[in-house]
Amino acid sequence: MLRQMGSSALGMVMILALAAVLVMQSNLQQLSSGWFNVAGEQRFIRQQVAASSALAWGLRRPWLVAAGWHCQFYPRFSWRACLRMEDEGEEGVMRGDSGTGSLSVWRWVELRQGELRAHSRGWIDYCPLEQDCQP
């Protein structure tokens, strides 16, 4: 009888060890999925900063004020700023991004006294035009 009691204690230790392994495995899976979320968030933040910087850079550049899309590139940082003026030539929209397939930010702009100026509340997260959103 004494031998049977010892084997039940060994069985309990094995069950506890198995439970600990299962808990550790589930924690590893949660951490792995968390790393993918963090990596995606970092990529979004980098693209947001680059697009905003390209937009700010584009606002300070000289532009051909004509209907249709006109783009300027800053190769050092892969910035691209594009301007599309309306037919009247006084208002338009500017797009900033950091290359093909990256996040874009948009801003309403206007031409005042020969200078391009951004509207104070003109930030847009999407293309505001019904058609012709791609430069």
Residue pLDDT, tens place only, 72-127:
999 999 999 999 988 777 888 999 998 888 889 999 999 888 788 888 888 887 88
What distance in Å separates the CA atoms of residue 119 and residue 58, rounded to the nearest whole number?
A: 14
Rounded alpha-carbon distances, angstroms, from residue 68 to 63, 81, 105, 133? 12, 14, 18, 10
**pTM to 2 decimals?**
0.71
- Which residues lie across from 85 on neighbouring strands? 67, 92
What distance in Å separates the CA atoms of residue 22 and residue 41, rounded to the nearest whole number?
A: 29
Domain boundaries, given as residue ranges, for the chain: 2-124
Check residues 40 and 107 and name the one with the higher pLDDT: 107
